[in-house]
């Protein structure tokens, strides 16, 4: 049973470049979440979707960040233009629409902006 798949696993790019992170959730899951993890701020929820519709994007740090979910099996998180302070590990997670069910996390994308 395939888990949540994220790509790329590592990304190194220069400041000002566009960055696109990708996520394939577990088949059948209704919810998809994007998180960012840093030493200073811990695990932060950026945005989450229900049935491909964005529900809460209050955690998106600024307009440079955008997320889409064009279908049930794919989501992207885009940063344009990127800045060094965006360096972090970005996680995607998915779950069923049952509050008692846990989230399943991908192994993350480690992003470094030079």
Partner 1 sequence: AQSVAQPEDQVNVAEGNPLTVKCTYSVSGNPYLFWYVQYPNRGLQFLLKYITGDNLVKGSYGFEAEFNKSQTSFHLKKPSALVSDSALYFCAVRGNTGGFKTIFGAGTRLFVKA
**In this complex, which beta carbon is closest to partner 1, that of residue 2 or of residue 14?**
2
- Region near partner 1 per CB under 8 A, out of 20-28, 67-75, 79-87, 95-103: 95-103
Q: What is the CA radius of gyration of the chain?
A: 13
Q: Two tokens at 82?
A: 């990127």
- Nearest approach in angstroms of CB 16 to partner 1 is 27
If one asks whether residue 48 binds partner 1 (CB under 8 A), the answer comes out as: yes
If one asks whether residue 97 binds partner 1 (CB under 8 A), the answer comes out as: yes
Where are the strands (E) in 42-87, listed by range? 42-50, 53-56, 65-71, 74-79
- Quickly list DSSP for 18-34: -EEEEEEPPTT--EEEE
DSSP 85: G
- Nearest approach in angstroms of CB 48 to partner 1 is 7
| Contact set with partner 1 (CB under 8 A) | 4, 31, 33, 42-43, 45, 48, 50, 55-56, 91, 93, 97, 99-100, 102-108, 110
């Amino acid at each position: 049973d395939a888990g949540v798949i994220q790509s790329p696993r590592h990304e190194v790019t220069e400041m000002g470049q566009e960055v696109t992170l990708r996520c394939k959730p577990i088949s059948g899951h209704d919810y998809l979440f994007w998180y960012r993890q840093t030493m200073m701020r811990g695990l932060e929820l950026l945005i989450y979707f229900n049935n491909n519709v964005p529900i809460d994007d209050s955690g998106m740090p600024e307009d440079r960040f955008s997320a889409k979910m064009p279908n049930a099996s794919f989501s992207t998180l885009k940063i344009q233009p990127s800045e060094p302070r965006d360096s972090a590990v970005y996680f995607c997670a998915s779950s069923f629409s049952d509050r008692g069910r846990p989230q399943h996390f991908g192994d993350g994308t480690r992003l470094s902006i030079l």
